[in-house]
Structure 1
Amino acid sequence: MKPIALTLNLLAFAIVGAAAHAQTAEPTDPKATEQWEPVPKVITPGKLDAAPPSDAIVLFDGRDLSQWETSKDHLPAHWKVHDGVVTVDKASGNIQTKQHFRNYQLHLEWQVPKDITGEGQARGNSGLFLASTGPGDEGYEVQILDSFNNKTYVNGQAASIYKQAPPLVNAMRPPGEWQSYDVVWTAPVFAADGSLKSPGYVTVLHNGVLVQNHTQLAGETFYIGKPKYKPYADAPIKLQAHGDPSGAISFRNIWVRPLD
């Protein structure tokens, strides 16, 4: 090899080596890893952790059901509002939000009657449907049930993803005490042809305890048969009137923060 060619090859090798070293070298200036834009939006948190922050949509504040409609025929919701709470009216059927959502954070509080009777699934049964895709019980359900000293199938107890995923622990308070759900819902994404691009995920805290940790859903809830997906763009949030004869569930302090 001629001396000039050898020199050029060595120079090229040195340049490549220096570039590789520059890519792997740790920065020495702390400013190199600082991010200044975009600045997060400022909101005001609630005075209590369960209170809605300033960017929340209040779905029920104890006064009326103006944000809700019947799931079957989209008429005004007529569950019983009293003493700052709303109690399920099974004759009226399921109710859902008038507004549709995709990804969101939700806070909801619910109460099983203190004098609840029955056992298993017939003991304060209701449900929180994270995305209601039909007038009946279609959608993605977090179970509501009295699971305090009440044995049932574990993927059907309180805070389970119904018929899919049991809660990590049973964090149920006794009947008559208020329960809370704090939910982060990541909606499934569908391609233009209706095929699934990415599944739905849900994180649930029951009474402040993590019980579903970014759980991947296998599809919508079905009482009989395996879960499966069907495409949708956005959907209301639904509360179930299960028709449980053992006692009606009550709700209060419901708010949502869209995350889209």
Structure 2
Amino acid sequence: MKKILGSCLTVLLLGACGEEKPKPKLEASTNKDWVIIFDGNSTDALRGYGIEDFPEGIWYVENGALVASPDTTNRDLVTKQRFRNFELEYEWAVDTAANSGVFFHMQEDLSMEAGNGNSPNWLDNYELQILDDENFYDTLAVRSAGSLYDLIEPVAKELKPIGDFNRARLVHNNGHVEHWLNGNKVIEFEMNSPEMKKLLNESKFKENPDFHSHQEGHIMFQHHGQRVYFKNIRAREIE
């Protein structure tokens, strides 16, 4: 009987080890209070890239969501607050064939003229891609929704239909980055690891020696010329 019980216990332990680990939670003691960036109404925590005010008309609030207008010139949104180590939560949805992204540690050191019709800084920082995978012309997985744009393909990705909101979570802690999408961890990497340096050296970012060289800065929501939606945006610093 002892042998049977021991064997059963071993099986149970091995089964537990084989289960997918639950979503890690940061200890409450290591986090400051949440900063509400957008609550469905107020845009006071945001402003346009390179300007002091919220870019009315380029972005607008509708049905509790921030919406990028496709009928205007591009201007990204940045948080007024700057972050170093942080946790960011937000929800996003796209219109048909829409493209956008979320950047972090952003600096405002470029003019609005990017030379290719896109918003500034997109070649300078890591981007968590937002995209309509079904209808956008570029179908490479490394540029698909949830990817670390042009660097890392997302894994275990589950997307909502066009028009429905996806839940996203981005964590940066001393160079360790995680991107969660609809409850699944789709990206994880170390900024200064040999693996990441190799990826950068083999990418189109290799000509930029200062790529993501800053350790703190703004969080930025990209205006790429198509209609995208953001809501329930909040962030908190990690000590």
Same fold, TM-score > 0.5, yes or no? yes
**1:1-260 matched pairs, under 5 angstroms:** 41=29, 55-78=33-56, 79-89=59-69, 90-91=72-73, 93-113=75-95, 116=96, 123-134=97-108, 135=110, 136-137=120-121, 138-148=124-134, 152-187=139-174, 200-216=175-191, 217-218=196-197, 224-226=204-206, 228=209, 229=211, 231-244=213-226, 248-260=227-239
Note the alpha carbon deviations across 1:133-176, whole angstroms, 9 max, x for none.
23412322100101247661111101111111111133211102
* CA contact 1:147–1:172 (8 Å) conserved in 2: no
SS of 1:111 mapped into structure 2? strand
Percent of aligned pairs sharing the same letter: 27
CA distance in 2, matches of 1:94, 1:149: 23
SS of 1:131 mapped into structure 2? strand
* CA contact 1:171–1:207 (8 Å) conserved in 2: yes
Change (3 A) 1:64 1:169: same
1:257 Cα deviation after fit = 1.2
Structure with the larger RCO, 1 or 2 (CA within 8 Å, 6+ apart): 2
Q: How many residues align?
A: 187
Q: Tell me which residue corresponds to 1:32.
A: none
Q: Tell me which residue corresponds to 1:27.
A: none
Change (3 A) 1:166 1:42: closer
Note the alpha carbon deviations across 1:26-66, whole angstroms, 9 max, x for none.
xxxxxxxxxxxxx96499xxxxxxxxxx8200100011211
Change (3 A) 1:124 1:56: same
TM-score normalized by the length of structure 2 = 0.69
Letter in 1 for 2:186: V
Letter in 2 for 1:66: D
Letter in 1 for 2:67: T
1:202 Cα deviation after fit = 1.4
Q: Tell me which residue corresponds to 1:197.
A: none
Higher strand residue share: 2
Runs of 5+ consecutive residues of structure 1 not aligned to the other structure: 1-38, 44-53, 117-122, 188-199
Note the alpha carbon deviations across 1:71-113, whole angstroms, 9 max, x for none.
1334333211121111013525101000000011110101113
* CA contact 1:65–1:77 (8 Å) conserved in 2: no
CA distance in 2, matches of 1:250, 1:106: 16
TM-score normalized by the length of structure 1 = 0.64
* CA contact 1:109–1:178 (8 Å) conserved in 2: yes
Runs of 5+ consecutive residues of structure 2 not aligned to the other structure: 1-26, 111-119
**What is the CA RMSD across the aligned residues, in angstroms?**
2.8
Report runs of 4+ in structure 1 exceeding 6 Å deviation: none
* CA contact 2:102–2:220 (8 Å) conserved in 1: yes
Change (3 A) 1:128 1:232: same
